[in-house]
Chain A
Amino acid sequence: MLHHSLHLALTVGRTATPEAVQFWILAPLATLAALGILLVKKAVHSALLMAWVMVTLAIFYIAQDALFLGIVQIVVYTGAVMMLFLFILMLVGVDSSESFVENVKGQRIPSIIAAVGLGGLIVSLLGRATVGSPAVGLAAANVDGNVQGLAKLLFTQYVWAFEVVSALLITAALGAMVLAHSQKVRSPFAQRDLAIARFRKSSLGEAAGLPASGVYARHNAVDVPALLPDGSPAPTSVSQTLRARGDIITSSGFALEHIEEQED
């Protein structure tokens, strides 16, 4: 069946030899690059391969008498959109790479089967769709020039869609701004404000600053609390951040044993 369809599809129309040469050189490269997107670990490499695929496609567009689209593909897609991708990659971390160990059960194999199967089916359907319709070619349509032809269609038959799409673009731009914009909920505290706040507290115990962290004969670091006179650790003497991360060492080992006896 598949073979049959392919056979029929072959009758769509022939191209000139230079185009065939170009196709057979570029198409495998594009396929390899696409596979590369799929397989390389680093996102930035994927982006570069993607750019290559897009340029290849632009060449194919031009080869198929779609000059305007070819230019747009290079300028807008390869130029703007891929730059946006790279820009975001810089934000997120350019050398972030992921492992290829699949951690969702039953994802990879079914995915491959479904994708490849779908591809095969589409190929088969494509063959049927193009049966008996020899290629007309765009010579007649592009007689006034490809850009003029497209413009005529866009501003007559498709003008309504064109306007709607412009609204969509504006909305998307707005949406992106809203999403990416983070608002500060308060102005940052100045040193003066912090000082005033310290003295306004119910007790003046912390007015001169919090106690320093423990400094001991065997350990001298910010991650050990100082000891209070009764031998218990002073929790406020270590940074809140360290405490939250659990990166502090207990200071009980540094406490003097039998503190009452020492007083005698």
Chain B
Amino acid sequence: MDISNYLYLSVILFTIGALGVLIRRNAIVIFMCIELMLNASNLALVTFSRIHGNLDGQVASFFTMVVAACEVVVGLAIIVTIYRSRRSASVDDASLLKN
């Protein structure tokens, strides 16, 4: 098996994640899809690290995880706040910024 198969898997997962962000309406699911995209890119980074024979890719992946954690914390807090005021976790309900 060729190592680049990991990369193709990464692309597939990334695409599915992007599609999820665009199609799903539940804010929490959208967040999971974002996490999926981040994880897919992490897989790519780890694979690149292996291809190039140094650990820089893994360090980058590590930072991605930290940033993702931050993002999840703040994002989920926002979701809770929105849910508290609108009684809904659907991103389509928060559509006041139109016209």
Q: Is chain B in direct contact with chain A in the complex (CB below 8 A)? A: yes
A-B CB pair tally, cutoff 8 Å: 242
Residues 1-45 of A contacting B (Cβ, < 8 Å):
9-15, 19-20, 23-24, 27, 30-31, 34-35, 37-38, 43
- What's the interface size class on A, roughly? 35 or more
B19 CB contacts on chain A under 8 angstroms? 38, 111-112, 115-116
Which residue of the partner chain, among B20, B58, B76, contacts A68 with CB atoms under 8 Å?
B58
**Quick check: A38 and B24 within 8 Å, CB to CB?**
yes
Contacts A15-B2, A43-B29 given: A37-B23 contact, CB under 8 Å?
A: no
Contacts A123-B8, A126-B4 given: A81-B43 contact, CB under 8 Å?
A: no
**Quick check: A57 and B39 within 8 Å, CB to CB?**
yes
Secondary structure call for the A interface: helix
- Give the interface of A toward B (CB within 8 A): 9-15, 19-20, 23-24, 27, 30-31, 34-35, 37-38, 43, 46-47, 50, 53-54, 57, 60-61, 64-66, 68-69, 72-73, 76-77, 80-81, 84-85, 88-89, 91-93, 96, 98, 102-104, 107-108, 111-112, 114-116, 118-119, 122-123, 126-127, 130, 133, 135-138, 140-142, 146, 149-150, 153-154, 158, 161, 165, 168-169, 171-173, 175-177, 179-180, 182
- Give the interface of B toward A (CB within 8 A): 1-9, 11-20, 22-26, 28-29, 31-33, 35-36, 39, 42-43, 46-47, 49-56, 58-59, 61-63, 65-74, 76-81, 83-84, 89-90, 92
